[in-house]
Amino acid sequence: MEFLMTYGWAILVVLAAIGALAYFGVLNPSKFLPEKCLMETGFTCISSKVEVGKITLLISNGLGKSIDVYAVSIKNPQATCGATYSPAVSIVTGEQAVLNWSGCSNGNVGESFKGNIQIDYTERNPGGFMINKSAAGDIAVKVQ
């Protein structure tokens, strides 16, 4: 009986230590996951920044055609926010552009932010023919 009590106390101490580590956030996996910003083929998300009420994306056009971005949105479990650009943001093939928008509920500083990006754009083809398209992506960063 003394043998079982000794092991029981040892297991209780280990569980208390694990509980304390989890309570203080040491075992929080989001602290160890890298930030990411991924877009579908043709676009490259070079950099991203999420602040409390503002989102900034730096994207590169690798489609081989010039485009005009007219809308951008990010959907996450808390909310959907986006921006409409008038006039549209023109991105020549191989060039970069900064997309900014504000008025979003992104959480508090230091929290993780995850969302789905949608970029609506018009593809400019030779001869003036234009096609409206969308590109999707994912973002996972910390709110700054």
d(CA 136, CA 75): 11
pTM higher than the cut 0.95: no
Mean pLDDT, residues 134-143: 91
In sequence order, the 6+-apart residues with CB closer than 8 A to the CB of 106 are 50, 51, 52, 53, 54, 55, 113, 143
Q: Inform me whether the pLDDT recorded for 58 exceeds 90.
A: yes
- Does residue 59 contact residue 45 with C-beta atoms inside 8 Å? yes
- Does residue 80 contact residue 118 with C-beta atoms inside 8 Å? no
Q: Each residue of 97-116: pLDDT tens digit?
A: 999 888 787 778 888 888 89
Mean pLDDT, residues 67-81: 85
- Does residue 42 contact residue 142 with C-beta atoms inside 8 Å? no
Q: How confident is the model at residue 30 (pLDDT cuts 50, 70, 90)?
A: low
pLDDT of 121 reads: 94
Q: Each residue of 14-23: pLDDT tens digit?
A: 999 999 998 8
3-state helix, strand, coil in the chain (%, to 5): 20, 50, 30
Domain spans of the chain, in order of start: 1-32, 34-142
- Residue appearing with tokens 């509920």: 105
- The CATH code of domain 34-142 reads 2.60.40.1940
